[in-house]
Amino acid sequence: EVQMLESGGGLVQPGGSLRLSCAASGFTFSSYAMSWVRQSPGKGLEWVSAISGSGGSTYYADSVKGRFAISRDNSKNTLYLQMNNLRAEDTAVYYCAKEAYSDAGPDSWGQGTLVTVSS
């Protein structure tokens, strides 16, 4: 069974940093691209970032480019999102998600972790 468990969320002040982790199991982690998708309270879904299976290619939404960094450790089956210079508008539930097949959208999601940016 495919499972993903996010961690690392919490309350952080504007301008602060946070690193999210996503521990994956039940599939060959290195064979799949992974994404982060967020959802602000009461709002819709927003794709944030993606990384190829090897980690050699990364992609970002304009809203986080230059502030967030996605990475993965295939030896640990873990996905990361380093978030720097956080803003109030980054407040959201952050989901990690596994691509369905090559270059396709996600077919499996974690339960999400809440990030709150507030003073």
- Does position 113 bind another protein by CB under 8 A? no
Does residue number 46 form part of the binding site for another protein (CB under 8 A)?
A: yes
Cα–Cα nearest to 9, from 38, 33, 30, 45: 38
Residue 101, burial from CB neighbour count under 10 angstroms (0-12, 13-18, 19+): exposed
Residue 104 makes contact with another protein by CB under 8 A: yes
Window contacting another protein (CB under 8 A); options: 16-24, 74-82, 83-91, 98-106: 98-106
Report if residue 112 touches another protein, rule: CB under 8 A. yes
Angle at the Cα of 119 (from 17 to 109), degrees rounded to 5?
A: 50
Rule CB under 8 A: choose which of 62, 66, 75, 119 binds another protein. 62
Q: Pick from 65, 47, 116, 60: which is nearest to 88 by CA?
A: 116
CA angle 116, 38, 113 (to 5 degrees): 55
**Site residues for another protein, window 12-31 (CB under 8 A)?**
none
Pick the stretch among 22-30, 54-62, 66-74, 83-91 that binds another protein (CB under 8 A).
54-62
100 sits near another protein (criterion: CB under 8 A): yes
Which of 59, 68, 71 is closest to 90 using CA atoms?
68
Which residues here bind another protein, judged by CB under 8 A?
35, 37, 44-47, 50, 59-62, 95, 100, 103-112
